Chains A and B, each alone.
Chain A
Amino acid sequence: MTTELMPLWEVFIRPRNGLNHKHVGSVHAADAKMAMQAARDVYTRREEGNSIWIIPASSIVASDPANASENFDPAADKIYRHPSFYDIPDEVGHM
């Protein structure tokens, strides 16, 4: 097929106020308005949300899985960033 590819949009839905928008999938559409309509039809047929974000898939910058260890492993040995690292007397109760 020699036709121009229909742009891809990633879709994020917020299930209800108080929660984050969460990635649910993608749609193809020529422009943002049509992408929004398609996202609404495809991803909210059963009250899945009250707000939709759509983003051109080409605009997303993703970290490279090949760099996952240098990106994320350094956090693994920094247990002093967690409250359970510190000893306090039991008598103090909840802190």
Chain B
Amino acid sequence: MYSQGLIGAETETEETAEFLDAFQSRIDAEEKIEPNDPMPHAYRKTLIRMIGQHAHSEIVGMLPEGNWITRAPSLRRKVALLAKVQDEGGHGLYLYSAAETLGVSREQMTEELLSGTAKYSSIFNYPTPTWADIGAIGWLVDGAAIMNQVPLCRCSYGPYARAMIRVCKEESFHQRQGYELMKSLTEGNEDQKAMAQDALNRWWWPSLMMFGPSDTASQHSDQSMKWKIKRFTNDELRQKFVDATVPQAALIGLTMPDPDLTWNQGKNNGDGGYDFGEIDWDEFWRVVKGHGMMNKDRIKARKKAWDEGKWVRDAALAYAAKQNSKAA
């Protein structure tokens, strides 16, 4: 679900110009790069970091929604939410599996998440105090993620592209169930409408931040685009998301919390698009650097799950070793 514009990437390289040129021409010819192929060190490192951040985001992303499974207001909503959270777990596993083809171990990635070295999408450091937040997450957070992920299906690294194809196929229901949930709240009583609007107010700006730093501030975007790891810049994707989402809010009678939001016919080569207000980048960096409302809780929950699962992992390995020695 939830990739975020890449934060930090490697650009240092030790390869010869010939090697880098040959690699670039494979990329330019739209050849996919596969696990054992020669690749520049920086390409490998960038992908490990990017896929790892993405995988962690899926796993941590299970927490804010999982919070509401037991309190879903109907069986219909409960099965949808259960299936969605289970999908996020699955997406995390597809992605870890893709990252591992680059030579990083699952244990190492887990360790980096738990120690705070690895990032995950800043969006999950916001709390989910009301049921409407589940609607807002599906509609906006998954909506933003889809915008980001569809182009990743054409990423130059084969295993990542293939994982993204599976993820995107499964993702569409996530956004639709969220929008449907919001819609039914806006059709309810005044309190329910207010709850929907309040959730939109809280999630709109953090959703825009999911696309990562502005192009002017993201110094690593160029190389990632050149290597076709990314196909669009953070700002291009953010604009697409705004243009797609603003009419959806209007359709269900909700108001975007942005007084500067105006239609601009001159945007997108004359097709028109929305101008929107300035994103609070201080808030973005604060949350990325660990000072969001939920950063500590999220890592604590992951660490608890990891620590309390230790005896199970140990027992499973011990049992397997015993069975193997019996068979031998």
**Least Cβ distance of B234 to chain A in Å?**
28
Quick one: CB contact mask for B152-178 with A, threshold 8 Å, 1 for yes?
Answer: 000000000001001000100000000
Q: Which of A1-49 contact B (CB under 8 A)?
A: 1, 3-8, 24-31, 34, 41-43, 45-46
Given A30-B313, A31-B319: A3 in contact with B37 (beta carbons within 8 A): no
Whether A5 and B107, one on each chain, are in contact in the complex, defined by CB atoms closer than 8 angstroms, is yes
A46 to B279, CA, bound (A): 38
**Interface presence of A64 (CB below 8 A):** yes
Q: Is A93 an interface residue (CB 8 A)?
A: no
Report A38 CB to chain B, min CB distance, Å: 8
A72 to chain B, nearest CB (A): 14
B87 engages A45 (CB within 8 Å): yes
Asked if B236 lies at the interface with its beta carbon under 8 angstroms from chain A, I say no
Looking at B90-98, B129-137, B293-301, the stretch in contact with chain A turns out to be B90-98
- Pair B97/A26 contact, Cβ less than 8 Å: yes
Interface flag for B189 (CB, 8 Å): no
Q: Compute how far the CA of A24 lies from the CA of B163 in the bound complex, rounded to whole angstroms.
A: 9
Taking CB atoms and an 8 Å cut-off, the chain B residues in 270-328 that contact chain A are 310, 313-314, 316-317, 319-320, 323
Q: Contact at B90–A45, with CB atoms within 8 Å? A: yes
B320–A1 touching, CB < 8 Å = no
Contact B105 A27 (CB under 8 A): no
Q: Smallest CB-CB separation from A26: which chain B residue? A: B97
Whether, in the assembled complex, B259 has its beta carbon less than 8 Å from a beta carbon of chain A, the answer is no
Asked whether B36 is an interface residue with its Cβ less than 8 Å from the other chain, the reply is yes
Taking a contact as CB atoms under 8 Å apart, the answer to whether A45 and B106 are in contact is no
Q: Which of A25, A34, A62 contacts B36 (CB 8 A)?
A: A62
Residue in contact with A31 in the complex, picked from B37, B105, B170, B323, CB distance below 8 Å: B323
Q: Does B219 contact A (CB under 8 A)?
A: no
Known contacts A1-B111, A62-B36; decide if A28 and B94 are in contact (CB<8 Å).
no
Min CB–CB distance A81 → chain B (angstroms): 24
A65 within 8 A of B: yes
A residues in contact with B36, CB < 8 Å: 62, 64-65
Q: How many residues of B contact A (CB 8 A)?
A: 30
Q: Say yes or no: A65-B34 contact (C-beta < 8 A), given A3-B107, A28-B106, A46-B170.
A: yes
Q: With an 8 A cutoff between CB atoms, is B38 at the interface?
A: yes
Tell which of B34, B100, B317 touches A8, judged by Cβ atoms closer than 8 Å: B100
Distance in angstroms between the alpha carbons of A5 and B107 in the assembled complex? 7
The yes or no answer to B86 lying at the interface (CB within 8 A) is yes
Question: What chain B residues lie within 8 Å of A5 (beta carbons)?
Answer: 105-107
Tell whether A31 pairs with B93 under 8 Å between CB atoms, given A6-B106, A45-B86, A65-B38.
no
Chain B residue nearest in CB terms to A31: B320
Q: Which residues of B contact A42 (CB under 8 A)?
A: 90, 93-94
Structural contact, A27 and B93, CB atoms closer than 8 A: yes
In the A-B complex, the 8 residue pairs with the smallest Cβ-Cβ separation, listed nearest first, are A30-B316, A31-B320, A30-B320, A25-B97, A26-B97, A30-B317, A65-B36, A1-B107
User: What are 11 A-B pairs with beta-carbon distances under 8 A?
Assistant: A1-B111, A6-B106, A8-B100, A24-B166, A25-B93, A26-B97, A28-B106, A30-B313, A31-B323, A42-B90, A62-B36
Task: Report which A residues bind B (CB closer than 8 A).
Answer: 1, 3-8, 24-31, 34, 41-43, 45-46, 62, 64-66
Q: A5-B106, A27-B93 are in contact. List 12 more A-B contacts (CB 8 A).
A: A3-B310, A3-B314, A7-B320, A29-B316, A30-B319, A34-B316, A42-B90, A42-B93, A45-B83, A45-B87, A65-B37, A66-B38
